[in-house]
Amino acid sequence: MELYQKTIHDIAAHLKAKKLSSVELTKATLAHLKAVEPKVQSFITVTEETALAQAAEADKKIASGTNVTPLTGIPLGIKDLLCTKGVQTTCASKMLEGFKPPYNATVVERLNAAGAVMVGKTNMDEFAMGSSTETSYYKKTKNPWNLSCVPGGSSGGSASCVSADQAFGSLGSDTGGSIRQPASLCGIVGLKPTYGRVSRYGLIAFASSLDQIGPMTKDVEDCALMMNVISGHDEKDSTSADVAVPDYAVEMKKSIKGLKIGIPKEFFPKELNPEVSEAVKKAIEQLKSLGAEVHEISLPHSPYSLAAYYVLAPSEASSNLARYDGVRYGLRVSGENIVEMYSKTRAAGFGPEVKRRIMLGTYALYSGYYDAYYLKALKVRRLIKQDYDKAFEKVDVIVTPTVPNPAFKFGEKTDNPLTMYLEDIFTISINIAGVPALSLPCGISKTDLPIGLQIIGKPFDEAALLKTAYAYEQSTDWHKRKPSLKES
């Protein structure tokens, strides 16, 4: 096995034992990254100089034995909507081409403090609006399992770079499934934490009440190690929760005997892909065999989550994206007056999907329609949250499919936005409720594409997700399967 194919916890042991240096590891990772990048197109920016400088610093830390963490010297990818000081941060949009933030996002600061190495900024759907990474202004990221298929979105580059071993882990963001959906499609682990568990400071916002940053990794243990570093209260983020953070790497190894698992009937509709349904049901049986108790539950308002989401998220996007006007930073297209300058800048800077969502949101917030759309969506949000609260009175975690289908071909859903939006049907209600959820591999389709299992938890109980996922992962070998990097 090559160095870059190992997991974070495996390679961290080698670094700690001084069997190799972080500089050697980073050089090997960058060489592989560059070799496969023409095929997978995971990165918008590769930060080779920064990576090697950070690796040299990590080696000093390891040599002195001071402040060494499991992430010290480990090459990681960062989604290109997280601010990185002095390094281009574009949100995959023409609007922010060449923008170099003057500060780091809190999660980036925490990774830096832990001694991690940033190999680059990963591709994504423009301003995180999309489910396939096809809306990026720069490139279309490919799925390492089949280069003719999408990697999912919006964190498609973060998922594909981990799946293709271009980095040992990555950070993504999740507004309606943007960590879990690509994790499922690329056969890796992805965790969306509870809203408020991880600081959003320095995250370029799409929908501020829904966005969360989380880890994307090769296995569950690596996910726990990254969560240990990025979690916790941050005074710079007014929505950050001051809740104690357990040691996830310790908690995850506890037994799941007697754990109560809820299976919501609404997440197994007759339209669900039969291969996905079968793989998830087998995974549930496997959890049962490990000592968990399975109970059928109902989340009655979840069918309304898609409609509520596509009022709430575009409304917040309409407000958040108003700042891109060509005045202070980013693209500016000159006009004869300020109104024309605004209009030309936004017309040239935003892609079709971003414009569509801004218009949807502006319409929903318009005074004549506010009560009919936005206010009603807020009421539905409350009902969805109450469904989860009631369910968690009876069960510890909820298990569902992550997405209704394996990865689809490029262009298959771009002509009909609604069919694309339906790819997030099982993930959106979790963001609306603000609870945590994790996706991990649980099968392979007949066409050799990964299938994901979603585990949903109580607020701030990421430990239960990781414990359930780890128990399942250790009893199967789906996480050890590797993509072919071939087209078909």
User: How big, in percent rounded to 5, are the helix, strand and coil portions of the chain?
Assistant: 45, 15, 40
What domain count does the chain have? Answer: 1
pLDDT digits 0-9 by tens, 248-293: 999 999 999 999 999 999 999 998 999 999 999 999 999 999 999 9
Grade residue 398 by pLDDT with cuts at 50, 70 and 90: very high
Residue type for position 401:
P
In a domain, 396, yes or no: no
Grade residue 419 by pLDDT with cuts at 50, 70 and 90: confident
> Of 93, 178, 199, 240, which residue is the catalytic one?
178
pTM above 0.85? yes
Q: What mean pLDDT do residues 372-390 have?
A: 97
pLDDT digits 0-9 by tens, 330-376: 999 999 999 999 999 999 999 999 999 999 999 999 988 899 999 99
Based on the residue annotation, tell me whether 413 is a catalytic residue of this protein: no
Based on the residue annotation, tell me whether 192 is a catalytic residue of this protein: no
In a domain, 228, yes or no: yes
pLDDT of residue 397: 98
pLDDT of residue 90: 98
pLDDT of residue 191: 98
pLDDT digits 0-9 by tens, 232-244: 999 999 999 999 9
Grade residue 488 by pLDDT with cuts at 50, 70 and 90: confident
Residue type for position 364:
A
In a domain, 121, yes or no: yes
pLDDT digits 0-9 by tens, 173-214: 999 999 999 999 999 999 999 999 999 999 999 999 999 999
Q: What mean pLDDT do residues 99-109 have?
A: 98
In a domain, 56, yes or no: yes
Count, in order, helices (H) and strands (E) of the chain.
Answer: 16, 11
Share above pLDDT 70 across residues of the chain, in percent, rounded to a whole number: 100
pLDDT of residue 416: 82
pLDDT digits 0-9 by tens, 23-55: 999 999 999 999 999 999 999 999 999 999 999
Residue 71, exposed/middle/buried by CB under 10 A (0-12, 13-18, 19+)? buried
Handedness of CA 7, 10, 13, 14 (dihedral sign): negative
> Of 42, 61, 79, 231, which residue is the catalytic one?
79
Dump strand ranges (E) for 175-307.
Answer: 189-192, 212-217, 260-264, 293-297
For 325, other C-beta atoms within 10 Å of its C-beta total 19
For 17, other C-beta atoms within 10 Å of its C-beta total 9
pLDDT digits 0-9 by tens, 445-464: 999 999 999 999 999 999 99
Q: Examine the pLDDT at 109 and tell me if it is beyond 90.
A: yes
User: In whole numbers, what is the pLDDT of the chain averaged over residues?
Assistant: 96
In a domain, 343, yes or no: no
pLDDT of residue 487: 82
Could you give the CA distance from residue 166 to residue 180 in angstroms, rounded to a whole number? 19
Residue type for position 60:
K
In a domain, 186, yes or no: yes
What is the distance of C-alpha 309 from the center of its chain?
17
- Any residues with CB less than 8 A from the CB of 31 and at least 6 apart, and which? none
In a domain, 196, yes or no: yes
Rounded to 10 deg, the angle between the 8-16 and 220-230 helix axes is: 70
Based on the residue annotation, tell me whether 178 is a catalytic residue of this protein: yes
Expressed as residue numbers, the domain containing 74 is 3-260+442-450+463-480
In a domain, 18, yes or no: yes
CATH of the domain at 146: 3.90.1300.10
pLDDT of residue 420: 86
pLDDT digits 0-9 by tens, 136-168: 999 999 999 999 999 999 999 999 999 999 999
- Any residues with CB less than 8 A from the CB of 213 and at least 6 apart, and which? 82, 105, 107, 171, 172, 173, 174, 193, 198, 199, 200, 203, 230
